Amino acid sequence: MDMTGDGGMKETHGGAMLLTSSIIAALGSFLFGFDTAVISGTTEALRDVYSLSDNLLGFTVSSALFGTLFGALLVGRPSDWWGRRPVLTVLASFYLVSAVGCAYAWNWHALLLFRWIGGIAVGGASVVSPVYITEIAPARRRGLLVAVSQLNIVVGILMAYLSNYLVAYLLGPEHPAVWRWMFGVEAAPAAVFLVASILIPESPRWLMKKGNRAAAEEVLTRFGHEDPRREVDEIEQSLTSERIGGHQSLLHRKYLKPLLLAGMIAAFNQLDGINAVIYYTADIFRMAGADKAGALMQSVIIGLTNLVMTVFAMVLIDRVGRKALLLAGSVTFILSHGLAAWVFHTHAQGWIVIVAMMGIVGSHAYSQGAVVWVCINELLPNAIRASGSAAACFLIWLLCIGVSWAFPVMARNSGAPAFAFFAVMMLVQFVLVLKYLPETKGVSLEQLQKRLGVGQ
């Protein structure tokens, strides 16, 4: 027994450092959410300023997503070569350049360029932020801490909606520069992220991959892990087994099962329709009869729903598990998308529209949104976590492009077919998750890969 209290003090200090480092890394996710949602308040102005058709508006909204493909696909290798921390710093600088560039964009092509640069940061952060947090967190707190990344995405989305509303309120919704200020606000949190990312320790599992056992054990100790030496031994054992037989491809047969499971979670993360709502929230409410100011205010309500349900999920994720949240979410998704399809088929207006959108966003927040980054990084083995997560995120953003580009065209006359399609996809998710997805809560990363038949 520790009669001096030093052990408790060290654990408290380690827990505080662990939470602080997780929050700093998750600033990449905050900006991910902010950058994703901020354009929803600018779509009408962009349509007028650049004389955009429905198709070109969809392309403009999707322009950042082409950057996310690039960022998600290419960030894995640099993250393995240079470390998680330096890559987070580079991504922060990309966010800053994008925010300033969009605010001062001199023509449509310049706007597309700077949105693309921001997309690189979003795609990279969607990989590296959850990977870093997964690798520093003890098994008993991993779900909660990785969910901090999702919470920051949600807070970023809410702050984008609130920022758009306040900018429009202060300048007036018809002010010619209002959309520029909406984009420019992002520069402030980007600058904070740039400075803070320099201060966090490197991932202990990355340090072990580079053969730096002493530094890895020191970082685990600083983060308050119960038995750093034993954990380092487990990491070393898993990495040693991965190295037997020399370099092996990401597509090696033994990685097929975890990759397919991670890909399944990634695909349904977009096929649940969340980004059709996030990117076009204000447009959806205008389609349902709200005026410009009212649509922006209703977007804030959606952002608050997202935040509340994400916090709810953080309380549950390490208690009921990832699989249970995905199954429950599938059911509420089906009901919510069904209601949305009925709303647009019958041209209903008023509170029922808000209920349908709150149902969709809330379902995503407590299920897919909270689980996706946790599950992907838990399922992937140590040796391929960065590259495998990059591949899964590439799939997410590829599908996101399809959803965000196609939605305004599909919804030109009615959004009913789109929401009906998403409901069917959630039925398919329920069946596949129930049959194939293992529960991962409370299990060490090294034990998980053994259960999946990797590194035995």
DSSP string, 239-308: HHHHHTTS---TT-GGGHHHHHHHHHHHHHHHHT-HHHHHHTHHHHHHHTT--HHHHHHHHHHHHHHHHH
Contacts of 16 (CB under 8 A, 6+ apart): none
According to the model, what pLDDT value does residue 115 have? 92
Residue 331 and residue 323: Cα distance in Å, rounded? 13
- Average of pLDDT values for 139-160? 78
Helix (H) or strand (E) holding 65: helix 54-74
C-alpha 322, offset from chain centre: 16
What is the pTM for the complete model shown? 0.70
pLDDT band at 388 (very low <50, low <70, confident <90, very high): confident
For the ranges 3-12, 192-201, 366-375, 412-421, the lowest mean pLDDT is seen at 3-12
Dihedrals phi, psi of 26, to nearest 5 degrees: -75, -5
Structure tokens at 353: 């529209």
pLDDT band at 12 (very low <50, low <70, confident <90, very high): low
Question: Above pLDDT 70, what percent of the chain?
Answer: 87
CB 330 within 8 A of CB 313: no
Of 147-161, 279-293, 328-342, 441-455, the range with the highest mean pLDDT is 328-342
Residue 250, pLDDT score: 65
Calculate mean pLDDT across residues 226-240.
76
CA atoms of 119 and 103, how far apart (whole Å): 15
**Residue 150 token pair:** 């999702």
Instruction: Return the amino acid letter for 252.
Output: H
pLDDT band at 338, cuts 50/70/90?
A: very high
Pair 299, 288: CB distance under 8 Å: no
**pLDDT for res 2:** 43
Per-residue confidence band for 456, with pLDDT thresholds at 50, 70 and 90:
very low
- Of the two residues 33 and 360, the one the predictor is more confident about is 360
How far is it, in rounded angstroms, from Cα 355 to Cα 155? 20
Domain range 13-451, CATH class: mainly alpha
State phi, psi for 206 to the nearest 5 degrees.
-70, -40
Position 249 confidence tier, pLDDT thresholds 50, 70, 90: low
Question: DSSP secondary-structure letter at 201?
Answer: P
Average pLDDT, the chain: 82
